[in-house]
Structure 1
Amino acid sequence: MPRILIVEDEEIIRSALRKLLTHAGYTVEDAGSVEEATERHEPDTFDLIISDLRLPGAPGTELIRRAPDTPVLIMTSYASLRSAVDSMKMGAVEYIAKPFDHDEMLEAVETILARQNHTTRSADTAVTPEEQARTDSDPASLMFGNCDAMQKVFTLIRKVAPTETTVLIQGESGTGKELAARALHLMSPRASNPLISVNCAAIPESLIESELFGHEKGSFTGAVSARTGLIEAADGGSLFLDEIGELPAEAQARLLRVLQEGEIRKVGSTQSRQVDVRMIAATHRNLKAMTRTGEFREDLYYRLNVMQIRIPPLRERQPDILGLAQNFLRRQGSKMNKPSLNLTPEAMRVLERHRWPGNVRELENAIERATILCDNDLITPALLDLEDGVDEVRIPETLVDGNHEQAQTQETDTSSDLSLEDYFQHFVLENQDRMSETELAQKLGISRKSLWERRQRLGIPRKKNSSN
């Protein structure tokens, strides 16, 4: 069981936090100052230290120096960006404002400990050169995913890759379908031969057949010389056809012949040529439905759909969002000579709440944009520029005084009958007599500034005795 050290000079807060963490199953020790923590305990033997920033004597950030291998979560009543920047520059893994929400604290502790466990396992694992060679082509080395859905994808890729089976990868734009295709190729016996990738949506319809199958000199206007097609170029290797749902009908018929007979015929040629190509296709469209409307050949669909791999959208991979963000942050920070970048807790929450219609690609773009704009070492929600994503957040189940059943009923009723703005107005009017503006904003998952702006836009007056 993880051991946590609390360093807090206010007995009421220290006692409440100790009870909260003990009840959650953690082993907890506490102290009233840095000196007391050092004298009575050994801070570097704990899994996590939670410390107030302002303490009698040395500040809480001193524990970062005294226990360099233990993550330190800083609590502060002075929750300004300046104090957050200073704390995290000194090595704090996160900060949290007092008075804190119990669920927020437990979530922060769980996230830090999970991150620490992952880092420890990675550091303690020795890898032989042979194991490293296998790991380099493993899907988990190309695609990040700790959630169950992605682990199933990795397992399927490992099973299918060594075979010659045609694979259809399905998933929304930006989910990483090309990475999955690359993993399939690199784990196959064809890894030493080329992987040719073709985006069928990016090639004009008039040129798609020439690009795929090649053409003979003079076969059409502009064909001043013979050309080898991409399928022939992939001979002995793998061909990845992205967005195959955009392939025109005539090209579909020719591709079917490649799958059935293993041969191609260049545009303008009367001779066929045998090719040995492993076909991997991908699409974000429903090919089965397209066969019913005649947009996609049914026989080609069944030839392609021998083995199907579905890449889940990012909104179904909630546990992976922060891990992906940290990976992108390290990569972008290294590129831009900003190696000390960190996400603020508020930025982490914004990332977790956003619906990610553009999936992993959108997340990567958001991190890259924030890295460029960041003037210090902390990525804030404003830099991520995902404000619109807050509107798409699922209404939390704890909106109404933690009453789970009542909240679920309210969520169901409002989501079926009300727009988001209607829901906002309904919730604020119903709860503002017993909640402060801060509490309303927290429950709605928005900032106080956003709460005020929406009040103005919707004409919802604040209660007269409203305060912080």
Structure 2
Amino acid sequence: MTENMHRILIVEDEEIIRAALRKLLQHNGYEVSVAESAEAATGDYDLSSFDLIISDLRLPGEAGTSLIGQAPGVPVLIMTSYASLRSAVDSMKKGAVEYIAKPFDHDEMLGAVESILAQHPGSGTAQAQEADEAADSESDPAQIMFGQCDAMQQVFTLIRKVAPTETTVLIQGESGTGKELAARALHLLSPRASKPLISVNCAAIPESLIESELFGHEKGAFTGAVSGRTGLIEAADGGSLFLDEIGELPPEAQARLLRVLQEGEIRKVGSTQSRKVSVRMIAATHRNLKAMTRTGEFREDLYYRLNVMQVRIPPLRERRGDILGLASRFLARQAERMGKPALSLSPEAMKALERHRWPGNVRELENAIERASILADGDLITPAQLDLEMETGEDYAIPSSLVEGDNEQKPPPSRESDAGSDLSLEDYFQHFVLENQDRMSETELAQKLGISRKSLWERRQRLGIPRKKG
């Protein structure tokens, strides 16, 4: 156990969920304590010593919401099934910082915990506060970009390794994935951090002007050149140059750029003299440069000069576990700008965000949150305000019979009482389905678990749980 890890209290009366959640959080570096009820939590622990309290909504005795406010500054995350969404909304009004619907994925829970702890740095122990301050460095990629999934953690690791070197980097990724943020992290982690980072979108500069913009020009070099001009590459001397959408460079500019990479020299348009420059090159593209070399659209020698080290930023559809964490960050930022601190996403809006394919990636998500924040009539954002084009094939509406607040019925715990400490949340789902599918229809199973029939089928496929024949 490290001295500075965050302390989390889990208040949950079901042994299987309590043990699985404890195991999940401990595995991810958190110090975890547990209690079976709100009364046990207040009797056994000093609540102010924790950085976060995660509590079930319905507990024996007092409800989980009774813990809200008992330790000022300590955020409370409420867990609830979809059968109690109305009560969950009420818990937000009482002061819960967030709620999460059961059954939840590991990534969803970890994303919520990370987001809450990032937004509440003043809670918990003095050691945790010191750790937060020490980690709050803008040069770390994890502080510039958000990503809890394995793919993004690999991106962060690669950036940390390659940034301190002089190696040229090619960033691959679809539009809106955050390629410029990755370039900023590479620059800020490099020895050139005190020098400028010049960013150029090659697709945004007219082809007739791009050479002049990049390399500069002498007075009279062409019609309209009434004075000399320093190019962007020279302006980045000593620092880094980020060339976004480098696949859009015309052939003449490609040849000039190759000389910069090979010789470290630039020559202004209309000049006969070359000048030495020291520039760390970072390029980015959403196109397949290798395929473009076969068609002659991109110089093969330039491609190999650029592709010394490649960083691939995954699209948002491959980062499902990060969607709600990103949305929470964007929403907090937008709420602060608008002076609406209570702004939150409805459960239906969360599900809509998770199911959208996000062709515009993180940029599209940020725009959707900003739009919805402006259109929201109150403090709760609905799917209609997100205005997403939903995929067909699934009904996202929650039956009114399930939204009854105080009438929540929990799935029964596994009969294997001695196996709880080794079960994950996926194990809990599997045990519940296997124990109850003999006496329940698929519809009833889905309703008890608070998910749709399609989601139940998808989880069966993922976990290899066959349907009962007959």
Q: TM-score when scaled to structure 1?
A: 0.71
Alignment match, 1:71: 76
Structure 1 counterpart of 2:190, one-letter code: S
- Whose radius of gyration is greater, 1 or 2? 1
Q: Secondary structure at the residue paired with 1:198?
A: strand
1:322 aligns with 2:324: yes
From the superposition, tell whether residues 356 and 125 of structure 1 become closer, same or farther in structure 2 (CA, over 3 Å). Answer: same
Deviation at 1:22, TM superposition (A): 5.7
C-alpha distance in 1 between matches for 2:220 and 2:40:
84
From the superposition, tell whether residues 70 and 335 of structure 1 become closer, same or farther in structure 2 (CA, over 3 Å). Answer: closer
Q: RMSD between aligned alpha carbons? A: 4.2
C-alpha distance in 2 between matches for 1:141 and 1:24:
29
Equivalent residue pairs, number: 393
Q: Secondary structure at the residue paired with 2:92?
A: helix
Asked whether the 8 Å contact 1:174–1:362 carries over to 2, the reply is yes
Q: Secondary structure at the residue paired with 1:266?
A: coil
Alignment match, 2:103: 103
Q: Secondary structure at the residue paired with 1:279?
A: strand
Alignment match, 1:205: 207
Deviation at 1:373, TM superposition (A): 1.6
Matches within 5 A, 1:11-410: 18=14, 21=17, 24=20, 44=47, 47-52=53-58, 61-66=65-70, 69=74, 71=76, 73=78, 84-94=88-98, 103=103, 124-126=128-130, 135-389=137-391
Runs of 4+ deviating beyond 4 Å: 1-4, 22-31, 36-47, 74-81, 93-97, 104-123, 389-393, 436-441
Between the aligned residues of both structures, percent identity stands at 64
Task: Name stretches of at least 5 consecutive residues in structure 2 with no aligned partner.
Answer: 1-6, 23-32, 396-425, 432-440, 457-470
Structure 2 counterpart of 1:87, one-letter code: S
Deviation at 1:284, TM superposition (A): 0.7
Q: Secondary structure at the residue paired with 2:204?
A: coil
C-alpha distance in 2 between matches for 1:28 and 1:278:
50
C-alpha distance in 1 between matches for 2:331 and 2:295:
44
Asked whether the 8 Å contact 1:156–1:309 carries over to 2, the reply is yes
Task: Name stretches of at least 5 consecutive residues in structure 1 with no aligned partner.
Answer: 7-16, 404-432, 447-468
Structure 1 counterpart of 2:54, one-letter code: L
Asked whether the 8 Å contact 2:164–2:189 carries over to 1, the reply is yes
From the superposition, tell whether residues 385 and 188 of structure 1 become closer, same or farther in structure 2 (CA, over 3 Å). Answer: same
C-alpha distance in 2 between matches for 1:103 and 1:38:
23
Q: What per-residue deviation string (whole Å, max 9, x for no partner) do you get for residues 215-274 of structure 1? A: 122222222222111111111211111000000111111111111111112112222222
C-alpha distance in 1 between matches for 2:8 and 2:246:
49
Q: Which has the higher contact order (CA 8 A, sep 6+)?
A: 2
Deviation at 1:162, TM superposition (A): 1.7
Deviation at 1:330, TM superposition (A): 1.2
C-alpha distance in 1 between matches for 2:296 and 2:212:
24
Deviation at 1:351, TM superposition (A): 2.0
Deviation at 1:66, TM superposition (A): 4.0
C-alpha distance in 1 between matches for 2:66 and 2:383:
28
Comparing 158-167 with 38-47, greater Cα deviation is found at 38-47
C-alpha distance in 1 between matches for 2:144 and 2:41:
43
C-alpha distance in 1 between matches for 2:63 and 2:261:
69
Structure 2 counterpart of 1:103, one-letter code: P
